[in-house]
Structure formats: structure tokens, C-alpha cells
Amino acid sequence: MRKTIILSTLTGIILSTATLLTAATGNEGDIRPYRNNPWYWEYKGDPIMLIGASDRDNLWQWSGNVLTGHLDRMVAAGGNYVRNTMSDRNDGDTFAPKEIEDGLYDLDQWNEEYWKKLRFFLDETKKRGIIVHLTLWDWFDLSGDGVYGRYAIHPLNPENNINWDPGTINNAWDYYGGSLATNNEPVLAYQHRFVDKLISISSGYGNVFYNIANESGLGAEWDNYWARYIKEAAARHGREIHVTTMLFTPDNSVRRVMNYRDIYSFAEVSQNNQDAVGPVYGKKHYENLLFWRRMIAMSDEGPMPINNVKVYGEGVGLNTAAGTEKEAVERFWRNIFGGAASTRFHRPAMRDGGRWGWGIGINERAQQTLRAVNMFLDEFDIFNAEPYEAFQTVGNSVDVYCMADIGKAYAIYFPGGRATVHLDPWVHAEKVSVRWLDIASLRWSDEEIIEPAWDQFDGNNWWGPQRIITLDPGNHRSYVAVVRVLE
């Protein structure tokens, strides 16, 4: 149940979501589900596949050349998508409240440097055509001390501010889920002020969509309350925004947004991209995506984008929860071939010298992958294609993945390892062309013309389909094959 008494006290007015969203048209060029194929996004009226990599979750905490250099490096490799949590857990991060003396804060006054950094970040991403996945709450900020959380020195610790009595909050749960569950008015008042300020700035940018919480275990009431609230806040600024929430398990993330399609307009399944709560082998990772697509497609509202803002995996896999760098790259590609709308390499270790890494960030392998994906997207129209399973692997088989715009074009991803694929184009294709993208060398092969023999009676076999297209990369490298129907 929504806490309307608190909301009316803090804002002085309540308007229904429906009323506000009727008036909120936003801008025609804003990021939104693609009208011709809502499994994907569109931006400035054109469909866009979101791919990215960055070394930090809260990029907005950087400024100047440090930030712009990082963004430029990603854009140069072909990236257009970053994650940005409103987090302050790293050493040197800026806090939102104003510090009035050493280590003591006034929650009623803002630190203008905090919002200046956010505006700079949003200006620079918009300038480069980068889509921002903005996460409101990250409960790790207050979860403890050390690598995760800095509660002992955080302004929200009552010992460090002049506004809250001792015991107003004692831990991360008190501040996040507990604020709503216990109707903690001082905390809710601050949270509403913070969100109002945030949305008053971010709603001015059409390159932003929103995630309520990182790895939320805070419950449906919490997630739904803030999802409605930010949609209403944005509507008061004349903007329609798109919102999701990320739970610890990807199945539950999909269920949550499917159950509340009036609030949420896309799914976020990042936890599918790791070895801990995600699948531990490739085929299952892919099959999960196809299963969720089927579930979403069966709903009354139909398709919506499925995002992956975090693809885990680093090095040789010392962090067994995350997986290896090789797994990260293959997950990145499988997300694309599984029909996901976005995929992004997760950050490396939280701090220099961190014991474990979670992702490869924007290292050389990530940049090379972004370039290869863009070469593929330039050659294959993914927005008119679907994941496709009418093929067989034979011989020393490994898992391969396919997309198809049936009767027009097919794409097959070979992660690595020898595999011969018998592709059934389903329609009578008299002549096709085949080109191979060598992912490691970033090179396309010359076009090869193939003329499949259809309905060929060999004296023994009357039954079809008579012919298939046989594809064999010839070695153990990673490839994408693109097959076009010419006749």
C-alpha cells in the first residue's frame, strides 16, 4: 500500500500516475522502447543496440578530463551505454549533504559540488550520444565499512549529521527498506528531497532511463513506491521516463516487472551474467534469455526490452562468483544473439589492489569486443531478427547461437572451438552469400556464394527438408557468420 500521507506532507499535492503521465510527453527523441520492435530501444527516432564498458559504476563521481577521457575511449571503441549508480562508496567520492565542519553534515543543505558533477556527467554523455542507466539506490553504500560501504564516515550515520537523533537509523536496512516499512519520517523526508532534486536535474536529459535499486532485496513495496514516485516527479517536469528494478536473481527481476507493467517498462537481468546466482555454463545462460522472452511475449502487454547492464567475469576466474574474462566476452555476445536490448562489461575490482575482480571494465579485450560487435551490427539488421534455433551442430560440437530474419538474413556466432553447423534457412533459398567476421582480428572475409540444392532425390531419401547450408569456420577461433539470401 502506498504511503500517501507521507507523500502529501512532503509535496503538498498528490496527482495520480495516470494523470501525470497523460501530461508527460517528453521529447520525441528520448530513449524509449523501439516502436517497431519493443524488444529493443530507440533514441532520437532510430533503433539502437546498447553496448558498453566502463571501469566504474558511479562514473558521475569523476569529473573533468578523467571522466571525458573515459567516455571518449568507450565511444572510440563503439560503445554507447554506461551504468551510473548514485553511489558514494569509494574513497574520495562526493557526498550529497553539505559538510559544515570536519566530518559533520547538515542534511538540510546540499553540497552543490555533488549536483554540479551530475550535471557535467549528463551533459558529457548526452553530447556523445551515450545512454545512461541510472540507479537511484545502492544499499552497499551503507552496508558496512571497507570495500563495500562507508557507514562509519557517511553523512547518513546519525553520529555524523546535525539533523537525526541517535538511532534514527543504525544500518543500511534502516535507511533503505526500513524507512518505508516503519514510516521513518525524518529519513523519508530526506529521501524525497534527494529524489526530487535528482529528478529535477536528470529529467532534463532524454538519454537516461532508471533502475530503482542495485541487487534489491528491499521488497516489492519499496521498489514500486519509488518507481511510481520518480515517474510522477518526472511527469511534473513534462517527461515520461522508463523504469526497472534489479533484484538478486534474474528470474525475480523479470517477474517483478511483468507483474507491474503499469510502472516498469523494461527488465534488467544482469545477475544472469555470472557464476554465483546466474547459470554456470553457456547454453543455460542463453536459454534463460529465450525463456524470459517467451514469458514476456505471452503477457497481455507483450514485448519489452531486456537489459544487461552488468556482464561479470574477469581474468582466469579467481573470483568464482564472477567467472573468467573468456566467459564475460561470450556472455556479452550471447546477450546479443539471445535478443537482449543491452549488454555492458561490469567494472573491475572496486578499488586498486582489490582482492577480486568482478568484470573487465573497458580493458583492451572489452574495447576489441565493442569494435567487433559494431562490425557485426553494421552488417546485420538485428532489429528485424529473432533468436533462431533451426540448425544443428555436428562433429566436435560446441555451442553456437543464431539469429534470423527468415528468408532474408541469418547470423551465427561461433564462440570458439571447432563446430560444423547445418543451417536450415526454412525457405527455399536458391542462392546465398556468406561472410565471416574473425572476431579477434576484426576482419571480414570475402563474400562466398552458395547455391543450396533443394528437393534433390538421391534414390533413397524422399523426405525433406532436402538441403541445408553447411558452415564451418575451419579452426578454433571465434567467428560470426552472416548469411544473406540473394535469390
Angle between helices 112-127 and 185-202 (to 10 degrees): 40
Residues 97 and 113 in one domain: yes
CATH number, domain with residue 162: 3.20.20.80
Among the listed ranges 79-83, 217-221, 368-372, which one has the minimum average pLDDT value? 217-221
How confident is the model over 6-25, as a mean pLDDT? Answer: 39
Which residue type occupies 99? E
Does residue 365 sit in the same domain as residue 426? Answer: no
Return all residues near 102 (Cβ < 8 A) that are at least 6 apart. Answer: none
Provide the pLDDT confidence category of residue 17 given band limits of 50, 70 and 90: very low
Query: Are residues 39 and 167 both part of a single domain?
Result: yes
Least reliable range by pLDDT among 8-17, 177-186, 326-335: 8-17
pLDDT of residue 9: 35
Instruction: Give the per-residue pLDDT at 149.
Output: 66
Beta-bridge partners for 413:
401, 480
pLDDT higher at 21 or 316: 316
Mean pLDDT score across all residues of the chain: 89
**Domain containing residue 423: CATH number:** 2.60.40
Given a cut of 70, whether residue 25 has pLDDT beyond it is no
Q: How confident is the model at residue 311 (pLDDT cuts 50, 70, 90)?
A: very high
Q: Which domain holds residue 427?
A: 388-485
* Dihedral angle, C-alpha 262, 263, 267, 269, nearest 10 °: -140
Residue 309 has pLDDT above 50, yes or no: yes
pLDDT band at residue 218 under the 50/70/90 scheme: confident
pLDDT at 238 over 50: yes
Range in 335-339, 392-396, 441-445 with the lowest mean pLDDT: 392-396
Q: Are 396 and 333 found together in one domain? A: no
Mean pLDDT, range 245-249, rounded to an integer: 93
Whether residues 286 and 334 fall in one domain: yes
Is it the case that residue 180 has pLDDT exceeding 70?
yes
Same domain, 451 and 341: no
Q: Does 421 lie in the same domain as 331?
A: no
Task: Tell me, yes or no, whether 376 and 393 share the same domain.
Answer: no
Q: What is the mean pLDDT of residues 372-382?
A: 98
- Segment 444-468 shows an average pLDDT of 71
Percent of the chain with pLDDT over 70: 89
Distance CA 141, CA 58 (A): 11
Please identify, among 335, 355, 383, the residue that sits at the C-terminal boundary of a domain.
383
Using the predicted structure, report yes or no on whether residue 10 has a pLDDT greater than 50: no
Q: What is the pLDDT of residue 145?
A: 61
> Do 370 and 428 share a domain, yes or no?
no
pLDDT for residue 269: 97
Same domain, 398 and 470: yes
Residue 5 has pLDDT above 50, yes or no: no
pLDDT-based confidence at 217, cuts 50/70/90? confident
Nearest Cα to 413, choosing from 458, 377, 364, 448?
Answer: 377
Mark whether 316 and 423 lie in a shared domain. Answer: no
Three cell numbers written together for 464: 525433406
Q: Which residue is listed with cell 545512461?
A: 132
Listed residues 383, 418, 451: the one ending a domain: 383
Cis peptide before 155, with omega less than 30 degrees from 0? Answer: no
Mean pLDDT value of segment 459-474: 70
Q: Edge-to-edge, what's the strand order for the sheet holding 46-48? A: 32-33, 41-43, 46-48
Does the pLDDT value for residue 252 go beyond 50?
yes
Query: Do 306 and 343 form a contact (C-beta atoms < 8 A)?
Result: no
Query: Tell me, what's the pLDDT at 90?
Result: 86
Closest CA to 471 of 410, 428, 430, 407: 410
End-to-end CA separation in angstroms for the chain: 59
Summarize the confidence of residues 88-105 as an average pLDDT: 94
Last residue of a domain, one of 318, 349, 383: 383
Q: Are residues 356 and 406 in the same domain?
A: no
* Residue 190 pLDDT greater than 60, yes or no: yes
Cα–Cα dist 391/106, whole Å: 63
Please state the rounded mean pLDDT for residues 454-478: 72
Check pLDDT > 60 for residue 214.
yes
For residue range 124-167, what is the model confidence (pLDDT) as tens digits?
Answer: 999 999 999 999 999 888 876 655 568 899 999 999 999 999 99
The total domain count for the chain is: 2
> Residue 458 pLDDT > 90, yes or no?
no
Global pTM reads: 0.92
Q: Which of 136, 77, 12 is nearest to 375 (CA)?
A: 77
